[in-house]
């Protein structure tokens, strides 16, 4: 019986992750119309772009507007285009990590967050996000490694409160998982 319940839970979770769509019901029609107008305009600009830099810029805007409208599938498609022009594009990497985390696809979120981390391992926000996703994926040793690396930097040495909070977070989450 326990095995059947586990299989059912895994199936439900998998299905929910694959059909995730953010709740945009709180958006006003005016907001949705403005975002759609921006989206339509950027699609035209993207199709007419003559340089890779322009294509990258307009693909990012199309991805961003789709994300804002809750169209994650299209947003991901255009952010992938952005990364084909610039594999280290910080906003595209961050937004992909955010969307995949919201969809419950932690490993995919972590993939993009780690790429972002590799471009800027001393940014407090990026370090915190990387640690959070590593912990969600139960990679506690890797989370400690990120924290230790950050602590050894000039920025890290000036972030005693952040370091303490992150260390406590890792310990608390590890304990929660251990007790469940």
Q: Which of the four pLDDT bands, split at 50, 70 and 90, describes residue 3?
A: very low
Going from the C-alpha of 93 to that of each of 5, 18, 120, the distances in angstroms are 36, 20, 12
Predicted confidence (pLDDT) at residue 63 exceeds the cutoff of 70: yes
- Longest CA span, the chain: 61
- Give the pLDDT score at 59: 96
CATH T-level fold of 109-180:
1.25.40
* pTM score above 0.85: no
Q: Which residue, 39, 38, 57, 61, is CA-closest to 49?
A: 57
- For the chain, the domains span 26-86, 109-180
pLDDT in tens, 90-142: 999 999 999 999 999 999 999 999 999 999 999 999 999 999 999 999 999 99
pLDDT in tens, 17-48: 445 667 777 788 898 899 889 889 999 999 99
């Amino acid at each position: 019986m326990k095995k059947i319940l586990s299989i059912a839970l895994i199936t439900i979770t998998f299905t929910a992750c694959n059909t995730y769509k953010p709740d945009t019901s709180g958006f006003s029609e005016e907001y949705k119309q403005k975002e759609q107008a921006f989206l339509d305009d950027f699609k035209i600009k993207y199709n007419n772009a003559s340089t890779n830099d322009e294509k990258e810029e307009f693909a990012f805007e199309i991805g961003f507007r789709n994300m804002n409208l809750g169209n994650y599938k299209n947003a991901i498609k255009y952010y992938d285009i952005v990364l084909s022009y610039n594999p280290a594009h910080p906003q595209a990497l961050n937004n992909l990590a955010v969307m995949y985390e919201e969809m419950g696809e932690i490993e995919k979120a972590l993939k993009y967050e780690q790429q972002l981390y590799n471009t800027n391992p001393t940014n407090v926000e990026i370090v915190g996000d990387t640690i959070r996703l590593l912990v969600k994926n139960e990679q506690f040793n890797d989370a400690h490694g990120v924290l230790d690396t950050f602590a050894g930097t000039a920025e890290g040495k000036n972030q005693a409160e952040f370091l303490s909070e992150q260390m406590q977070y890792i310990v608390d989450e590890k304990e929660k998982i251990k007790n469940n």
